[in-house]
């Protein structure tokens, strides 16, 4: 699912993802997508804060 977050890696993975959606539905993909988006935003915020603190010192 993490690879799917970055985009379709290959046709085989694309077909596998659609098979998973048929079995489990789209909710797990939506939930994981939202969680990964927030995780990336929090990581970027933390990196910027570290850089700003270092630059201010």
How far, CA to CA in Å, does 22 sit from each of 15, 16, 50, 56?
A: 11, 10, 43, 52
CB count within 10 Å of CB 13 equals: 13
How far apart are alpha carbons 26 and 18 in whole angstroms?
Answer: 9
pLDDT at 4: 65
pLDDT at 8: 61
User: Torsions phi, psi of 8, nearest 5?
Assistant: -70, 125
How far apart are alpha carbons 12 and 43 in whole angstroms?
Answer: 31
pLDDT at 34: 93
Per-residue pLDDT of the chain (57 residues), as tens digits, is 666 667 667 788 778 777 877 888 888 888 988 999 999 999 999 999 999 999 987
Global pTM reads 0.67
Domain count for the chain = 1
Quote the domain boundaries for residue 37.
2-56
């Amino acid at each position: 699912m993490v690879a799917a977050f970055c985009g379709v890696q290959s046709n085989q993975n694309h077909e596998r993802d659609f098979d998973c959606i048929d079995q489990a539905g789209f909710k797990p993909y939506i939930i994981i997508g939202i969680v990964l988006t927030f995780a990336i935003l929090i990581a970027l915020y933390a990196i910027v804060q570290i850089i700003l603190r270092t630059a201010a010192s």
